[in-house]
Amino acid sequence: MRRNAEEIVKMRKAGRVVAEMHQRIRERVRPGVTTRDLDKVGREVIERRGARSNFLGYHGFPAVICTSPNDMIVHGIPGKYRLQEGDIISIDCGAIVEGYHGDSAWTHPVGEIPEEARRLLAVTEQSLWKGLAAMREGNRLSDISHAVQEVAEAAGFSVVREYVGHGIGTAMHEEPQVPNWGPPGKGIKLRAGHVFAIEPMVNAGGPETRLLDDGWAVVTADGSLSAHFEHTIAITDDGPEVLTAVG
Ligand code: MG
Ligand code: MG
């Protein structure tokens, strides 16, 4: 599905709300803060902006953000967990404005973090930017996937297979799926109007995952750290545009 200029305008509005959620939440990340506190910050932004949450109630999900510390990859439910010095915390946020969706994730350090964790965050974010750079008319879908995988694996890390990026528009998850691995040159031809959520999930150890008993939180099978960076990105005539950027 390709989006026209009017739809992109609405997606920018949704993206701005998501960016503001991240901005406010990031300001609150420090040792002692609970993940439920961070969810509250996200709710306040959604309310103030007159937006709706695309996370709350999604298959019964009970919060407006996902909070996934340390070896948790994605889909952590905010709760009593208190951030500790040296943690990393992945925050996934979304919002709906005028029927259009935004979706974005960032992993933050909590205070001072070990060098290996810093490197994991830097590499995962860089893999997202490499994926973005592949979002050009004439490229094919898996050029994005391949770009992400190359960056992550060149650094000695691994990419998660079971969870993937996606098309986004009037629903949070639309076709096509955008995996974070694979050979280049496969899949649909990229055109202006395509909007994808590109979201590398990179593990410091192996790629295997495990679902926790709450039926939501996904952790690394080997207990290694995991980072997650995501933006909603449109292909325009002038190249890729990040719709969920702060600013
Ligand atoms: Mg997300
Ligand atoms: Mg997503």
Which ligand number lies closest to the CA of residue 61?
A: 1
The CATH number, out of the four listed (1.10.357.10, 3.30.70.560, 3.90.230.10, 3.50.50.60), of the domain defined by the range 5-242: 3.90.230.10
Extract the residue ranges of the chain whose pLDDT is less than 50: none
> How far is the centre of ligand 2, averaged over its atoms, from the C-alpha of 229 (Å)?
10
Which ligand number lies closest to the CA of residue 91?
A: 1
pLDDT of residue 246: 81
Residue 106 phi/psi, 5-degree rounding, is: -140, 150
SS3 (DSSP) at 140 = strand
> How far is the centre of ligand 1, averaged over its atoms, from the C-alpha of 172 (Å)?
9
Residue 77 phi/psi, 5-degree rounding, is: -85, 125
- Whether the predicted model's global pTM rises above the 0.85 cut: yes
In angstroms, the Cα distances linking 220 to 143, 180, 203 are 26, 16, 7
SS3 (DSSP) at 16 = helix
> How far is the centre of ligand 2, averaged over its atoms, from the C-alpha of 179 (Å)?
11
The residues that bridge with 234 in the sheet, in sequence order, are: 195, 241
> How far is the centre of ligand 1, averaged over its atoms, from the C-alpha of 173 (Å)?
10
pLDDT of residue 168: 98
Residue tagged 């040159």 (tokens): 185
In angstroms, the Cα distances linking 177 to 70, 94, 164, 208, 214 are 26, 18, 6, 19, 25
Domain boundaries, the chain: 5-242
> How far is the centre of ligand 1, averaged over its atoms, from the C-alpha of 107 (Å)?
12
pLDDT of residue 247: 65
> How far is the centre of ligand 1, averaged over its atoms, from the C-alpha of 112 (Å)?
25
